[in-house]
Structure 1
Amino acid sequence: MRLVGNMAQWKSAAKEALDRTAIVAKFLCCLHVTSNYLCSPIHVYGPSMLPTLNLAGDVLLVDHLSPRIQNIARGDLVLVRSPLDPNRTITKRIVAMEGDTVTYFHPSHCDAPQLALVPKGHVWIQGDNIYASRDSRHFGPVPYGLVLGKVFFRVTVLPHATVLNVLLIIPLVWPLDSAGLLVRVNSRTYIAYKYTVNGVGLWVMKGVEKRRLGLDPVVPY
């Protein structure tokens, strides 16, 4: 009888373990599909996109579906796999599409303007800060297949504020790290949550300086 009881307990434990494993596997599959094919957050920094993006870094939300359905255009901010180093990704603005003619100054001999025709299946990308950007002026038009996504939101740190205000978008694309925290600010109570987005912590926590994070669209120009 004891053996039968032990077998029943073992079967119950094994079934529970399998059920939990299936839930975790489904969650990881959904996260993989979301991050690689729908939308994902990325952390970018550097001077090449000044003044649109901050030198110290920004967290951007990238739409991976738009390039697949050819829904990108001039002025869009895009995430591109570097043609010089496949292990790196760069964030630039689309200046011209296939069939367009671009007039530009090559960084190494900028005294004479040059013309370039963007071939079919390619785009011409440049940084907003052309004096500190390595882009199509250096390596030419970029194949459409290297465009990984289109930026549609930026998470910005707002000065002199204390409330985490990123909850409308982040929960849709990234898992919650911990339970909500109650934060008291100017006699008002807020619920703050912690997330980790590609290694960047977005959180409000006791004993840590509280900051407000807001969402604002990246407007093409």
Structure 2
Amino acid sequence: MSTIIVIGLFISLSLLLFTKKALLLVSVSGTSMVPSLQPRDRVVAIRVFKQRLIQRQSIVICDLSNVASIPFPKPVHVIKRVIALPGDEYRVRVEEIDPLVPLLSILETCGEYYILKLPPSHLFLSADGKGSDSRHWGPIPYNAVIGLVLLRIPRRQKETDN
């Protein structure tokens, strides 16, 4: 009987440690991801170990504190949508691009659009609403991604009444 209890405790402790290292619970602040994510929503994310987990339209959490191309003041943690992957060609309106952004690879200018080719190991991130994103920062390196959002936990009704 005591062996079963010890094994059960070991399994429980192992799952708890794995969950703490593998999952993130993050509160959303700001409105850049509205309507997908609302301020004070919470998201559950898995820490990203493999790049192939990230797909177009994934929502990711990034730590931008060490990304050299981002001007000061740097946002530290952001939640954004992935709209282009390494090697993708992506079309973006010329007027949407901050003129100081290091775009790295403009293939061509096509009327009012730039055609960009993303470099290896970089993502193009977008806000769902109004807010800063790769149009302002340039492509973001994969190693800045710390989590892949799996689940949105809406804010409680009581919180929305304030």
Report the TM-score range of the alignment, normalised by the length of the smaller protein.
0.5 to 0.7
Which residue is equivalent to 1:98?
A: 86
Q: Note if 1:43 corresponds to 2:27.
A: yes
Contact 2:24–2:147 (Cα < 8 Å) also in 1: no
Shift of 1:87: 6.9
Q: Name which one, 1 or 2, has greater alpha-carbon Rg.
A: 1
TM-score by length of 2: 0.68
For residues 183-206 of structure 1, the C-alpha deviation after alignment (integer angstroms, 9 at most, x for no partner) is: xxxxxxxxxxxxxxxxxxxxxxxx
Higher relative contact order (CA 8 A, sep 6+): 2
Amino acid of the structure 1 residue aligned with 2:80:
K
Counterpart mapping for 1:1-221 below 5 A: 34-36=19-21, 38-54=22-38, 56-65=39-48, 67-68=49-50, 70-82=52-64, 83=67, 84=70, 88-105=76-93, 106-108=96-98, 112-129=112-129, 132-157=130-155, 159=157
Show structure 2 runs of 5+ residues with no match.
1-12, 100-110
Query: Which stretches of structure 1, 4 residues or longer, exceed 4 Å deviation after superposition?
Result: 29-33
For residues 52-75 of structure 1, the C-alpha deviation after alignment (integer angstroms, 9 at most, x for no partner) is: 111x3211101114x435311000
Percent of residue pairs bearing the same amino acid type: 25
Distance 1:69 1:210, change over 3 A: closer
Distance 1:87 1:33 in 2: 28
Show structure 1 runs of 5+ residues with no match.
1-26, 160-208, 212-221
Shift of 1:122: 0.8
Shift of 1:141: 0.9
For residues 69-101 of structure 1, the C-alpha deviation after alignment (integer angstroms, 9 at most, x for no partner) is: 531100000001123367711000000101111
